[in-house]
A and B are shown apart, each in its own frame.
Chain A
Amino acid sequence: MQCNEFELVLTDAIDGVLTGTGLDRFQAHARVCKACGPLFAEAEAGRNWLKGLTEVEPPASLVNNILVSTTGVDTQRLRVTARAPQPRISWWEHVQASLIESLLEPIWATVRQPRFAMSFGMAFFALSVGLTVAGVKPNDLKQVSLRPSAIRHTYYATQARVVHYYENVRIVYEVESRVREIKRNVAPAEPSRKESRPAKPKDDKNDTTQQPEQKQERNYSQTDNHLILASAPVGPSPSVFDWSNVDPSNPDLPVVSVTTYRRFV
Chain B
Amino acid sequence: MEDVQVVAMLVRRCIAGDSAAWEEIVQTYNRRIYNICYRFAGSGDDAQDLTQEVFIKMYRTLPSYDHTKGAFVTWVTTITRNLLVDHFRKSKQDRMTDSMDTSASDHEDAQPLSEQIPDQSAPPDAHVRSREVGETVHAALAKLSPELREAVILRDLQDMDYREIASVLKVPEGTVKSRINRGRAELARLLQRTYRQVM
Contact = CB atoms under 8 A, between A and B. Distances in A.
B187 A62 contact: no
A52 B133 contact: yes
B52 A11 contact: no
> Size range of the interface on B?
35 or more
A69 B185 contact: no
B59 interface: yes
Nearest to B22: A71
Nearest to B55: A66
A8 interface: yes
Contact of A11 (B31, B177, B186, B191): B177
B177 A8 contact: yes
Contact of A54 (B31, B48, B134, B192): B134
Contacts of B134: 52-54
Given A11-B162, A58-B30, A42 B174 contact: no
Contacts of B51: 58, 62, 66
Interface string A10-52: 1100100000000000000000000000010111111101111
A67 interface: yes
B26 A66 contact: yes
B163 interface: no
Contacts of B188: 41-43, 45-46, 49
Contact of A70 (B22, B178, B189, B191): B22
A44 B174 CA distance: 18
Interface in B120-157: 130, 133-134, 137-138, 140-141, 152, 156-157
A56 B185 contact: no
A131 interface: no
Interface of B: 19, 22-23, 26-27, 30-31, 34-35, 38-39, 44, 48, 51-52, 55-56, 59, 130, 133-134, 137-138, 140-141, 152, 156-157, 162, 174, 177-178, 180-181, 183-189, 191-192
5 contacts: A50-B184, A54-B134, A55-B35, A67-B22, A71-B19
